[in-house]
Structure 1
Amino acid sequence: MDSFSLKLLACVTMLIDHTGAIFFPEIMFFRIIGRVAFPIYAFLITEGYSRTKNIKRYMFRLFILAIISQIPYMLAFETKGLNVFFTLLSGIFIMIIIDKKVHYYKLKHDIKISKEVFDISIYIIKFVIILGILYILEKFQSDYAIYGVCIILCFKMFKENFKKLTLSMIGLNFLYTIPYLKYFMEPFGVNFRVFLQATCINSLFFIYHYNGSEGKKAQLLFYGFYPVHLLVLVFIRYILINGI
């Protein structure tokens, strides 16, 4: 599968997911299919980050898309939280922070500290900044928030080693599911919804078959799909509730 195919798959599964969330929230099948979408977007974000020739322009496009998508997102899900592109954009910020090299020799004449202390200071500063970004995501209820960033980092670190990638995704989703296990047993039966998000691991099947090529170019289509499909779903819901 090339990048075009993965993007198309992410759009289709996201549409199914959001259709289920808005119109058929009691039917898990829609949501299970939809769990495939975000990990694919997260994977493609790491690909875009590593391949783009202009990271600032790439991030600017994502920021504009996040701004444009915010009102449709709020209307569709009746929330005040931030849409998923703020999470994806934050993932890029964090990858930049992690990869940023600060050379001791550039500062050693101005700062009278050892290289070891300097390196530790840089690690601490990076850690504090990353914590700040994660706090903001949670504070403003960004879609997927910390969990989403962790998925992005899993792909950044392990996408060249599928075995480690799979294990990291299993471990991450195990940790994500633990707090919800208290809802597993309900008065009227078993609640399998606690394992819903963990089904996102299915996305690895498609990512495994990614061949590294770009495929067809349809940038405008994929950028516009998110806000447009949400507006369409909002309109359909309005018609169903209020009539024409």
Structure 2
Amino acid sequence: MEEKKLEAKKGLTGFQIKLIAMILMVFDHIHAYLNYNKNIPIQFKWVGRIVAPLFIFMTVEGYYHTRNKKKYMIRLYIAQLIMSIGNNFLDKFFPRPDGVMLISSMFKTLFLIVVYLSIVDFLRDAFKDKNISKVLLGIGFLTIPILLSFVIMINISNLPILFIRIFMLLVPMPLFVEGGIVFIAIGIVLYLFRDNKTKQVISYIIMSIVIMLSSGNFSVQSLLYTNFQWMMIFAAPLMYLYNGEKGRGMKYLFYIFYPAHIYLFHMISYYMLTR
């Protein structure tokens, strides 16, 4: 019995994976916000490619394990709303001379992933009950946000700027969030295969390879210095090492650290560029 307990503790806890992601996120954002002199090595961006997939992975786990999925969804929505307001505030009162704006808000993506996972659950129940009307309703829930995104994108030049800003602030849309449909699809796939770790990781690796192939340019120069999003594949080993345990608490650490360190880097860059 004792040996089984020790075996269950091997690997990485959810807290450890989040901590690794947060450290690598700092490197990524150092390059994003403090590279105005072009002296930050590109490798900082490379390691940053595995950050979003790890947070998506842990959001899927959080959604699965939470006792109150509605509350979890609301918490992410409030987080994205607060960060969006903060981004607009800093862009308005501390604008960088080089025009770089605060557009980061992974909270929007994570919120939409949770929304889509709830739709997946709805569809599962509908198929299980063989309820055609609910199946069609679920398919509508899946497609309407994407179609609405296309409508807004096509007509964006004809819409009032104030309306666009308020709408984008209050209603995250699949085509306008960080990572777009690709990151949302990753979340759905990780959720669908979460009961089989091998299939889950293999499906994620396949998606990473597809992203590389979709770049259309397979030269070493391109894959290492331009189209390097495929490097998200290196998140797979960490996902595989996840032992299913939550680890330490500190539930709100990421909610606070994520916007706080970005705003700190933005203020540093604003001061350096305007002094």
TM-score class, shorter-chain normalisation, is: 0.7 to 0.9
Indicate the larger mover: 203-212 or 96-105.
96-105
| Mapped pair 1:198 → 2:230 | yes
1:149 alignment partner in structure 2? 184
CA distance in 1, matches of 2:136, 2:209: 28
The answer for the alignment partner of 2:141 in structure 1 is: 129
Which among 157, 168, 188 is matched to residue 203 of structure 2?
168
TM-score by length of 1: 0.81
CA separation in 2, counterparts of 1:233 and 1:71? 17
Find the aligned partners of 1:150 and 1:239 in 2 and give their Cα distance.
39
TM-score for both structures, normalised by structure 2? 0.73
- Which residues in structure 2 correspond to 1:77-88 (within 5 Å)? 78-79=100-101, 83-88=105-110
Deviation at 1:161, TM superposition (A): 2.6
The secondary structure found in structure 2 opposite 1:177 is helix
Structure 2 residues without counterparts, runs of 5 or longer? 1-11, 150-172
1:151/1:169 contact within 8 Å kept: yes
Q: CA RMSD in A?
A: 2.7
CA distance in 2, matches of 1:128, 1:56: 20
Name the aligned partner's letter for residue 129 of structure 1.
Answer: F
Q: Percent identity?
A: 25
Distance across 2 between alignment mates of 1:32 and 1:60: 32
**Alignment match of 2:15 (pick from 4, 8, 21):** 4
Which deviations, in whole Å up to 9, do the C-alpha atoms of 1:96-144 show, x marking residues without a partner?
A: 1111124998xxxxxxxxx6xx52x4333322221223343344x2101
2:47 is the alignment partner of 1:29: no
- Residue 234, structure 1, aligned to residue 266, structure 2: yes
Change (3 A) 1:80 1:231: closer
Q: Deviations over 1:35-92 (max 9, x none)?
A: 1211111111111111111111111111111111114456499458572211111111
| Counterpart position of 2:60 | 46
